[in-house]
Amino acid sequence: MPVCCEVALPVPLDRTFTYAVRAGQLPQRGARVIAPFRNEKLIGVVTALNVKAPADFEVRYLEAVLDDEPLLNEQLLTLAEWMAQYYLAPLGEVLRGMLPLMAEVRRTVYYRITDLGRDVLANSVEREAANSQILKSGFGAPGLKRRSKVSKEEHDLEQRVLSRLSTGEPVKVSTLRTATAATLPVLAGLVRRKWIARETAAAERDARRMERFAVLVPEARLPNLTQKQQAILAELAACAGELPLTELRKRDLPSSTLQTLVRRGLVRIDERPAVFHLGGLLPATEPFRLNEPQTEALASVATALGGFKPFLLHGVTGSGKTAVYLAAMQKALDRGMASILLVPEIGLTPQTAGLLDQAFGQKVALLHSALSPEERSEQWRRIRRGEAPIVVGTRSAVFAPAPNLGLILVDEEHDQSYKQEETPRYNARDVAVMRAKLAGAVVVLGSATPSLESWQNSAQGKYTRIEIRDRVMNRPLPEVELVDMRREFQETGQDQLFSRALVAQTREALDRGEQALILLNRRGYSFAVICRACGEKLECENCAISLTHHKPQAEDADQARTGQRLECHYCGYHRTIPARCPKCGSEHLYYLGAGSQQGEERLAEIFPGARIGRMDRDTVRGRYDLERLLERLHSGEINLLVGTQMIAKGHDIHGITLVGVVGCDHALSMPDFRAAERVFQLMTQVSGRAGRGEAPGRVVVQTYYPDHYAIVAASTHDFAGFAERELKFRRWMHYPPFGVLANVLIQSAKLEEAVAWSGEVGKWFQQAAPEGVRVLGPCTAPIARIKGTYRFHLILKASSRKALNAVLRAMLTHAEAAGIPRRNLIVDVDALRLM
């Protein structure tokens, strides 16, 4: 009887799988293995050893064991099991998110023909021969028509694929596509019809990043050289005898000339491990000197090191929370402990990494999704070996395998970016608290606008609250002016994007040589296009959402023939702007609303001498775009910046004295109980960008709801007052933090399936009538279709998390019995987005 182990695989199934282990291949709990699963080879993690093999079926053997020792220690495995229970996520998918090591495994996709595919190919050959014979005889071929739904080109392409696979040997996908010109959708269609089968193979690979250097060979005799050869040797001699090949290419030195020098023994090529550069856009600064409130905050954190204790650090914008983070990390490092600093956005990571690099040098590691797979693997290994006890990154960095973890810091803990919107749907802030508890570490949640859940936890004594009420150097908080846009329209008779007050104060700031920042929290030029004749709204063909009007940027001006396009921000679909309404043929198309692109254009018209920049997802596309943009802002090259909420997060630019807030209050009309909290947080955060230097700051907020309590509280920097009023509403309605909530989403590419499945789930809830759990729905989701998938949802509210978890598990059990695929049923515990 072979030894067996339990393996968690990254599949949407709430269970582990039993595999037999070959002699001499016994893995350890927490190690990675390659396991056969259906027609694929998957990377899994061993969760248990020496388990008893099931008696009712034959156990398959593991393909390979990738690790001699566990990659995940008991603490991280326990955290993964807690996450799988808490968020009702498959354990294998949780573990996959913990291990960013895909670069260390080479996966290859193969296709082979099935028995059904052979029959189709044989029948097709016979049919072609019969058709040919009938055509030669001069008669038609009734009954031998090609399938009506498939064009001749598609049919011929399918036949080429089947013919290429007819030998029965698996063929690599790249080879098959090259030989037949088949696209991936065509191959997927053949798999669905079961004419061909898809298989995968996996094998370990060396993921180390290597860099090639050209090295000058010393004491080599110099023969007659061409001018280009002399230029290469001169460059090498001027750079200590060696240069990376990438640098030589940048200097327009031909590689063919270099190869000639290598053959003649004058230069050799060395391969070395590539050096990882943290980056960082800030110039060197003096060490932080903490003021009294900062020193008291640091003392509270430092005293608690060595045990589990959660803190909520509530400090106003510009109060120096980052300095407290750095000092606390230094205290932990002095005691031999590792630290993890989480930031909400990739854009903030290089800025924070630059500060950490100045403070800690090579002891810093970086983890976020914009790194290449090889870089992420390299950084993860450095952390695990203990070479980098200071870790900074986005939400996935909470799983960093730091030995002797003593401190976890969550910056801007209220930010929605910490909630993952795909399985496993975890909140990194809450996972950080649990990880700190398991590790016996201190966790600090920091924000100027804490989430109401964290605020209530501190009020109940679950977290220790630390307050920093003043800005550093006693700088004043910016004065906020509310502009009632209803009155603005009455007085001017015009619907202007920017109010007179905002234009006047922006001009004054620019004339003083200061910088201004304007928040316009929508991408594109106009956010909807409507026909004036019939009222038709131009929507995405894949999503139930209106298309956004974009004007071309310089680099993609030739993308659309008309120079402009409509784009879906959910699936990426885009099309040119039609000359007429697709429904009624009218020429009168109306562009509704304004986005950041239109804001930039209007500002250029109003301030022709301003140096204007724009920060949104259209201008910040690549890994270093945000760094370059912020560098221009820091240097003063840009003195007027317009953008979406990206500009509101954590940026510390001392030259900004004026902030304008345009259209921020539209979110108050969204069907979301957190709408007021989000508007307050966004207004407060973007207001906090003003007046962080020597000159005082000022904020102009344009709003149609000047009397709304969230707007009023944000204008007076009154978080406590806002929280008191908002919590009163939450308590009345039993919303978090006075209850727990989950969003159950049922989705399918077929509308009838989505309707039937949501009806089945809703019927079960009616019959089960779970005590202490209120079920709202099922109903169509606010966005009824995304990426061609129809969406229905139910919202569950309960006072007890245990009761909510139990009823959700019972629902999943019923759904499985009813034949609803797990991947089509999404459970989002502690959901932040209900759209």
> What is the per-residue pLDDT across 729-766, written as a single tens digit (0 to 9) for each?
999 999 999 999 999 999 999 999 999 999 999 999 99
C-alpha dihedral (295, 397, 394, 822), degrees to nearest 10: -140
427 and 16 in contact (C-beta within 8 Å)?
no
Query: What are the pLDDT digits (tens) for 452-473?
Result: 999 999 999 999 999 999 999 8
**Whether the predicted pLDDT of 646 surpasses 90:** no
d(C-alpha 740, C-alpha 784), whole Å: 25
The three-point CA angle 687-690-695 to 5° equals 150
Our measurement of the distance from residue 52's CA atom to the centroid of its chain's CA atoms, rounded to an integer in Å, reads 40
Sign of CA dihedral 75, 80, 85, 86: positive
Per-position DSSP letters for 630-681, written without gaps between them? HHHHHHTS-SEEEESGGGGSS---TTEEEEEEESGGGGGGSS-TTHHHHHHH
**Whether the predicted pLDDT of 684 surpasses 80:** yes
CA count, 13 A, side-chain hemisphere, 306? 7
Tell me the pTM. 0.86
d(C-alpha 74, C-alpha 53), whole Å: 24
Region 117-127 average pLDDT: 81
Closest of 818, 813, 768, 775 to residue 794, by C-alpha: 775
Please give the residue that has the higher pLDDT: either 140 or 727: 727
| Phi and psi angles of residue 232, each rounded to the nearest 5 degrees, phi first | -65, -45
d(C-alpha 21, C-alpha 774), whole Å: 47
Q: Which residue has the tokens 């001392």?
A: 654
Residue type, 713: A
β-strand partners of 489: none
d(C-alpha 792, C-alpha 582), whole Å: 28
Q: Which residue has the tokens 């089945």?
A: 760
Residue type, 438: L
Mean pLDDT of the chain: 88
* Distance set, CA 290 to CA 160, 244, 250, 295, 351 (Å): 72, 42, 44, 6, 20
Using pLDDT thresholds of 50, 70 and 90, give the confidence band for residue 303. Answer: very high
**Whether the predicted pLDDT of 133 surpasses 60:** no
d(C-alpha 720, C-alpha 722), whole Å: 5
d(C-alpha 615, C-alpha 613), whole Å: 7
* Angular region, 700: left φ>0, alpha ψ -120 to 50, beta rest: beta
- The strands making up 740-748's β-sheet, listed across from edge to edge, are 773-786, 789-798, 740-748, 825-829
Using pLDDT thresholds of 50, 70 and 90, give the confidence band for residue 805. Answer: very high
**Whether the predicted pLDDT of 723 surpasses 90:** yes
Cβ within 8 Å of residue 146, ≥6 positions away: 152, 155
Q: Which residue has the tokens 């269970």?
A: 15
Percentage of the chain beyond pLDDT 70 is 92
Region 116-142 average pLDDT: 66
Query: What are the pLDDT digits (tens) for 477-518?
Result: 999 999 999 999 999 998 889 999 999 999 999 999 999 999
Using pLDDT thresholds of 50, 70 and 90, give the confidence band for residue 142. Answer: very low
d(C-alpha 526, C-alpha 518), whole Å: 17
d(C-alpha 646, C-alpha 682), whole Å: 10
pLDDT for residue 144: 39
**Whether the predicted pLDDT of 336 surpasses 50:** yes
**Whether the predicted pLDDT of 643 surpasses 50:** yes
**Whether the predicted pLDDT of 348 surpasses 80:** no
Cβ within 8 Å of residue 38, ≥6 positions away: none
d(C-alpha 687, C-alpha 700), whole Å: 9
Q: Give the total residue count for the chain.
A: 835
pLDDT for residue 149: 57
Using pLDDT thresholds of 50, 70 and 90, give the confidence band for residue 138. Answer: low
The three-point CA angle 607-610-611 to 5° equals 145
Sign of CA dihedral 516, 519, 524, 527: negative
**Whether the predicted pLDDT of 637 surpasses 90:** yes
Read off the tokens for 359. 């403070």
Per-position DSSP letters for 371-403, written without gaps between them? S-HHHHHHHHHHHHTTS--EEEESGGGGG---T
β-strand partners of 338: 405
Q: Which residue has the tokens 């959708």?
A: 185
**Whether the predicted pLDDT of 166 surpasses 60:** yes
In a 10 Å sphere around its CB, with 0-12 CB exposed, 13-18 middle and 19+ buried, how is residue 501 labelled? Answer: middle
The lowest-confidence range among 47-56, 309-318, 609-618 is 47-56
